[in-house]
Structure 1
């Protein structure tokens, strides 16, 4: 959903007279924090699915670490107001994960409807380190992965309410940058590595 949000945001930004080039002039501090958090989360998924014993043993700690980095990155750059919507979505996702042993409840019916029967079987068998089946025992299941985008959509997926907020925040963030004439006053991307957290 994030990729779709970016594409649609850029499309509407152009319609509204915005400039794609303004995104390259965005000033972000500590960009390495976002990159590191992304690497950790991708690593958790890849190694978790493959059954890596270290990742499975320390899945909670690794997940917490990745979200700490993400939160720090957003808070440091909070002057970009639309990032607060992304932060809100992330907090919802973290809350439901924390409430369920650092695993996200996911609708098995939703996975089947989206065409991910193999993933549904793995979730039911308890072999996934980051998903648990959504059932009556799930805490705050409403915040789990319950929103299904099924075929014929080109990229079927199952989302949480938090995911929707994150995608909305990303959409609004790109829109705000593309239509902000203030970015025309700068001529280069500035990633401030020297500022203090």
Structure 2
């Protein structure tokens, strides 16, 4: 959400056009939609036991589909950052039993104690406590706290930061592309007018 807002603001400040976003062409968009739908399975896992049983595998599959969809659009500005972020998050999940380690200390710092209790009760199956993890993947876990007065307190991973950067660059790039398209048309019409 923050990446979207920042991208829109920077795109506008740099003279971009909002209409450029309506002209975005994404290759393999069906793959990306399927990936996002798979990430929603935890919300229905209680009603469908099969999703609860295989939710770890389903989540990893959604990440792989995201990587595939993003790889099909690497020519677009910001997609490289998306790809790096998703890969970093996928690596830490694969090395930790299909779960993302989360720092409880950082959650407390961000004022998100209810999330700690939810993880301990097993209500957030994709997450586990960072405490006790000693190998290198702890540096890719969610441990960076963004506390109040920030309006949306949270904790993020290094991968999340890259994903947010990708959103900012993509939105700004598409808005800028619209601006350059308009300029090129004006130059073309101006040149023809002199003939």
TM-score (norm: length of structure 2): 0.84
Asked whether the equivalents of residues 96 and 144 of structure 1 are also in contact (C-alpha less than 8 Å), the reply is yes
Residue matched to 2:52: 56
Give a deviation string over 1:97-148, Cα, whole Å, max 9, x none.
Answer: 0000010100111222222222202323444311110113254111101011
Larger radius of gyration: 2
Matched, 1:156 2:144: no
Which structure 1 segments of 5+ residues have no match?
187-197
Q: Write the distance in 1 (CA, Å) between the matches of 2:71 and 2:78.
A: 12
C-alpha distance 22-127 of structure 1, shift in aligned 2 (>3 A): closer
CA distance in 1, matches of 2:118, 2:2: 27
Q: CA deviation at 1:22?
A: 0.8
Q: Name the SS for the 1:28 alignment partner.
A: coil
- In 2, distance between residues paired with 1:183 and 1:166? 27
1:128 has 2:124 as partner: yes
TM (norm. structure 1) is 0.83
Alignment of 1:27-38 (within 5 A): 27-38=25-36
How big is the shift at 1:152? 2.3
The residue number in structure 1 matching 2:169 is 172
1:110 and 1:147 in contact (8 A); partners too: yes
Q: Deviations over 1:27-57 (max 9, x none)?
A: 112212211211211233x235x58633331
Task: For 1:104-143, list aligned pairs within 5 A.
Answer: 104-139=100-135, 140-143=137-140
**2:7 pairs with 1:4:** no
C-alpha separation between the residues in 2 aligned to 1:173 and 1:144? Answer: 25
CA 6–74 in structure 1, closer or farther in 2 if over 3 Å, else same: same
Which residues of 2 match residues 67-82 of structure 1 at below 5 A?
A: 67-82=63-78
Distance 1:30 1:113, change over 3 A: same
Tell me, in whole angstroms, the C-alpha distance in 2 between the residues paired with 1:171 and 1:138: 33
